[in-house]
Amino acid sequence: RHVLYTRDAGIYIAYGIECRKGNNLICSVNDISSDRDFVQRIVNKFNSYKLSPIHIFEALENELGK
């Protein structure tokens, strides 16, 4: 969860995804959506598939393109 600001949108809350292995941060993608439930559904889907972090950007493109 991040609080962000743009001139067009003003202040808004955006949600992203972190990929971790234990306590180590492997990668993160910020500002995916302001819809927390949408991002949580994506996280749950990726976790259920045990998605490798190397595929995170492609998988997100596919999800966001729906």
- Residue 66 pLDDT > 80, yes or no? no
* Edge-to-edge order in the sheet of strand 24-33: 2-6, 10-21, 24-33
- Residue 9 pLDDT > 90, yes or no? no
Q: Note the pLDDT tens digit of each residue in 42-65.
A: 999 999 999 999 999 999 999 998
Residue 5 confidence class, pLDDT cut points 50, 70, 90: confident
Q: Note the pLDDT tens digit of each residue in 22-40.
A: 999 999 999 999 999 999 9
CA–CA separation, 63 and 43 (whole Å) = 11
